Structure 1
C-alpha cells in the first residue's frame, strides 16, 4: 500500500536554500521512507514565509486522503511576532484538520534561531529562550490535537552553531548539507510512524 506523504509549513518545509530539488527536506525524507520499504507519493504544499496562521490555507489545498503529514513551522511566527498563543492554536487546528483526513502527523516546531548568524552573541540566550517558549506552546497544542512532535531543535541548533557550512548563502536557511542533517534527524520518526500505519492496516 502506498504512503501519501504531505509536507506543509514554511521555507524549511519548502526547501529554500537547497542547491537542488533533490536536496530538499521532502525529497530526502521521501527517499528515506522508500529505503525503509514504503511506496511513497510526495506532495509539498509548504510556502516560504508562512506562519502558523497560514497553515489553514495549506490544509485547504490538500486533495484526497493523506497517510503521513509533516508540518514544519514556527520561525516566521517569531520573526513576524505572531502571538504565541495564536500561533499554537493555529498549529493545533491544522493538526486536527489533517487528522480528520486520516493523516498521521509529525510536527517539527520552531527551530532555535539563536544559531543564526545575524543574532548578536549578547542576545543569543534571549532568542533561545523565546524560541523555547513558543516551542513549548506548539508542542502542547500539537500533541493535544493528536500529532507526534519531533524534539530535534536543541541538537540541530548545536550542530548548526558549530558548522557554518550547514547554512546556505543567506546565512538563515539550511544549505543542502543542512537539509541532509535535518532529514537524518527526522527520518527515524517518520519511518516509525509509517511502520505503525502499515502494521495497523495489515
Structure 2
C-alpha cells in the first residue's frame, strides 16, 4: 500500500467498524420452506456472515436464504427446505470451526456467504485459502453441492469512503481469485459465483448503507440462483 494512503485507510476503517457495530440485528429467520409444485423437497443451507443471517431486514422472508430458496423452487418446481447458520462479523476461520459443525447432514445445497469480514480484518489470501479449503472439505460429507458467493465490490457500498473502498476492493479481488481456484479443484461439487456485474440501484442497500435491503437480497439471490441452477444435483 502507498504509505501516504495508509493513515487515511486506517482512520476510515476504524470509523466504518464503529458505524457497523450499530447495524440492525439479524432479521432473516433461521429456517423455512419455499413451496414447490411437486417432488421431494431440496435441502438448502445458507452459511456465513451477517448477510447470511439477514442483517438489514426485519422479516423472515426478506433475507437472502428465503429469497434464494424461492428462486430455486421456481426454477426446479421442487419445494425447498432452508436453514441458516451464520453470525454477524464471522470470518472464514469462525465459520470453519464454529458454524459448520452446527449444520445438518444430508443437505442438497450449501451457499457460503463469506469473505467480507476476512477482508476487513486484513486476513490475506493464504489464510483465506486455508480456511475456505477446510470449509469445503468439511462440507463434502454434508452436502451434494456448495456454491461460494464472491465477495461483492466494496466500491459499490455507499457506507464506505472512496479511499478505503479502493483498498478493500483490491484485497477482495485477491480473495475472490483464490475462491475461484479452490472451487475449480472439484467442479462437480463446488461452484464459484462471481459478484454480480453492474451498479446496483440505490434501493439495493438497507438503512446502514452496507447490508442489503429486502430488494437487495432478492436481486442478489436471483442473480446467484440463475447461475447455479444448472448444477446437476439440482436437476435430479
Q: TM-score, normalised by structure 1?
A: 0.86
Q: 2:84 aligns with which of 40, 44, 58?
A: 44
Paired residues of 2:53 and 2:84 also in contact (CA < 8 A): yes
1:109 Cα deviation after fit: 2.4
1:31 Cα deviation after fit: 1.0
Q: TM-score, normalised by structure 2?
A: 0.75
- Aligned match of 2:29: none
1:166 Cα deviation after fit: 1.2
Secondary structure of the structure 1 residue equivalent to 2:86: coil
Secondary structure of the structure 2 residue equivalent to 1:6: strand
Number of aligned residues:
193
Q: Using the alignment, how far apart are the partners of 1:79 and 1:125 within structure 2?
A: 12
**Structure 2 stretches lacking a partner, 5+ long:** 1-39
1:102 Cα deviation after fit: 3.9
Secondary structure of the structure 2 residue equivalent to 1:135: helix
> CA RMSD of the aligned region, Å?
1.9
- Aligned match of 1:139: 180
Q: 2:55 aligns with which of 16, 31, 54?
A: 16
Q: Using the alignment, how far apart are the partners of 1:186 and 1:149 within structure 2?
A: 10
Q: Using the alignment, how far apart are the partners of 1:3 and 1:39 within structure 2?
A: 6
Paired residues of 1:19 and 1:175 also in contact (CA < 8 A): no
How is 1:1-202 mapped onto 2 (pairs within 5 angstroms)? 1-36=40-75, 37-56=77-96, 57-144=98-185, 146-153=189-196, 155=197, 158-160=198-200, 163-193=201-231, 196-197=232-233, 199=235, 201=236
Q: Using the alignment, how far apart are the partners of 1:6 and 1:46 within structure 2?
A: 10
